[in-house]
Structure 1
């Protein structure tokens, strides 16, 4: 850990325990006042401390927001865990749980596939917000202004020829996910992988997290992956109920492919 980061965390801890003046903080931390002031200014700029009219420092709103997000994430993980593992067991495929916070989508749980070919993804790592089913689902739960802000600032790295490449495309994909209750990554992040995702709703009716099923092409075709949508929806409905959601989540299946007409000869 860098010395500056370590000192900043020490200062934040001191502030949380009531040490609130520049002189007292410098004395308690054993650091020159100039250095303490610089670190406090950085913490203040990011909302981790605030300063009142008497130049006393207090814990900032960002700390409380971070704590609330962490608590919510843990609640979702606990509620989702049994259903995620049941979904992984019934499908035999990779199952992810992901959450959104401040413009970033992060994997917070994972059930490994029974297949020899496995996805390179890890709990705690961010997901490509424009090239994953969970990214589109979670964006679909944002209000319009937040959705547009995130889409405008996204890094549209082209992973495959199918990867979304603009804010307009991403906004459209997020809105479609919200309308039909699911999203897909059709070879958008990896050419050999298809993925479907659906939202988990919290007691307040907002999207709290997203669950996805990812399957290599050699295991199931794209059509075969879409056939897993009812199982995915059943899982997310169960988890949403565990979180206290009493509404009805949208769920519109893709239109069935029409069988080719047979020509009659005679």
Structure 2
């Protein structure tokens, strides 16, 4: 699978976060924020924000006398039980995101030529999408599917659509392959991919890419159409909070 080069804010945050964690790991007895800023070469104001995120996600611990040391999450993700720890970490992040944006939240990947929902967090006040058509067959209509397809190159998109024919799911579904490919090609890397009742009547969705290496992934959310006015701000929040998921997948 070929991926296009698309870097957005969470990816840059993760790149710096990895440098922070490497530096912290090199100081067995802890290191101050000021020393980290000098070693990594980033402004202390930006480093403070990164350290707050890393502390919240338990990648670093704040020491009683000041400074930072390696945290529990980093130790677990580097252990033999990494897969279980990673699953728990992603579930915790999705649950926190659900509560923050007030919507069902999903983590998906494009694996072996298929759209796969890896995990999600929903609740009584954040209902998930009714999967009335298998998501693997509905990439052309869902925010998740379209977001994953935007991360592929043109040939890979054509290959996917040759295996999963475009069908009309609602009156808003794009049914022209040419129009769909043009939309995917022109999708801005920094803007969320939207599904405005294209997959299911009564539901709107947004997804943001979280590509790492050769793996296309995305975070997405869904809302009842009666709350469509919240879709854009909720998607912006999702984008701002994507770094912990990316970091878990990278470590």
Does the pair score TM above 0.5? yes
State the TM-score, normalizing by the size of structure 1.
0.55
- 1:29 — aligned with what? none
Match of 1:215 in 2: 223
Q: Distance in 2 between matches of 1:121 and 1:76?
A: 25
Matched, 1:231 2:241: no
Cα distance between partner residues in 2 of 1:73 and 1:134: 23
Distance 2:191 2:184 in 1: 10
Q: Which residue of 139, 145, 150 maps to 1:135?
A: 145
Change (3 A) 1:177 1:207: farther
Which residues of structure 2 form unaligned runs of 5+? 1-81
CA contact (8 A) 2:103 2:127 kept: no
RMSD between aligned residues:
2.9
* Partner SS state of residue 152, structure 2: coil
Change in CA separation of 1:73 and 1:135 when aligned onto 2, cut-off 3 Å: farther
Q: Distance in 1 between matches of 2:145 and 2:178?
A: 15
Q: 1:183 Cα shift?
A: 0.3
CA contact (8 A) 1:138 1:207 kept: no
Inter-CA distance 156–76: structure 2 relative to 1 (3 Å threshold): farther
Q: Could you say which residue in structure 1 is the equivalent of 2:45?
A: none
> Larger Rg: 1 or 2?
1
One of 182, 195, 213 as aligned partner of 1:185: 195
Alpha carbons of structure 1 residues 237 and 174: separation in structure 2 relative to 1, 3 Å: farther
TM-superposed deviation, 1:131 = 0.8
SS in 2 for 1:179: coil
Q: Which residue of 1 aligns with 2:120?
A: 110
By how many angstroms is 1:237 displaced? 2.7
What corresponds to 1:96 in structure 2? 106
Residue 180 of structure 1: SS of its match in structure 2? coil
Q: Write out per-residue CA displacement over residues 213-242 of structure 1, whole angstroms, 9 at most, x where no aligned residue.
A: 100023x12x32112122110232331133
Which has the higher relative contact order, 1 or 2, with Cα contacts under 8 A spaced 6 or more apart? 2
Offset of residue 100 of structure 1:
1.2
- What CA distance in whole angstroms lies between the structure 2 residues aligned with 1:229 and 1:87? 11
What residue is the counterpart of 2:52 in the other structure?
none
Write the mapping of 1:34-73 to structure 2, written as runs, cut at 5 A.
Answer: none
**How many correspondences in the alignment?**
169
- For residues 126 and 219 of structure 2, the distance between their equivalents in structure 1, rounded to whole angstroms, comes to 22
| Contact 1:80–1:239, Cα closer than 8 Å, also in 2 | yes
Partner SS for 1:84: helix
